[in-house]
Copies of this chain bind each other. A is one copy, B any other.
């Protein structure tokens, strides 16, 4: 169908352009040009420039959530689950560098210019972490003093900041596996019930 085709093309183009220039410096005509559509066509699929950003975010985070949840469903051990989450996130960052860059910025920015926007998708995403921690605590694997509400943010922040390295500086010293290993290692050791 032509419709969803253009929608997808525009989203894909927007991811690249936003990643390259940032939201504010990106021009609608850049996105349109890269998507191979006319400027006006964008407005058949999105209400405005912000709407592209929001839609993009929700759609892509949604896909990531589905994917990671599917993989986690096959696991029982919360330690292994955390490893998977970390690895998958970093993998995603490497495979979809542009997307990662956009999501990172957006997370910090969208609330600046869209006060009303409640980022529920993101909350759903990081709540995956707290769910894992919770489970680990029930199984007496993770210490009960750990507060999942704080730890989930710590873990996400740690991964995200590491990821920022590659995004900015693609040929960094540390590779993905090394990073994933360190992150998992430190947090598992940090939360482990001795």
A positions within 8 Å CB-CB of B: 21-25, 104-105, 108-109, 111-113, 145-147, 149-151, 153-162, 164-165, 168, 173-174, 178-179, 182-183, 185-192
Contact = CB atoms under 8 A, between A and B. Distances in A.
Contacts of A189: 189-192
A107 to B, nearest CB: 8
Contact of A154 (B109, B112, B153, B186): B186
A183 B111 CA distance: 25
Contact of A153 (B25, B162, B188): B162
Contacts of A178: 147, 150
A183 B112 contact: no
Contacts of A22: 109, 112-113
Contacts of A154: 158, 161-162, 182-183, 186
B183 A150 contact: yes
A28 to B, nearest CB: 15
A142 B17 CA distance: 43
> Which has the most chain B C-beta neighbours within 10 Å: A105, A153, A192?
A153
B105 A112 contact: yes
Given A25-B112, A105-B109, A113-B22, A165 B186 contact: no
A57 to B, nearest CB: 15
> Which 4 pairs show the lowest CB-CB distances between chains A and B?
A157-B161, A190-B190, A22-B112, A186-B190
Nearest to A182: B150
Contact of A109 (B109, B149, B158, B182): B109
A182 B113 contact: no
A154 B188 CA distance: 13
B185 A162 contact: no
A182 B146 contact: yes
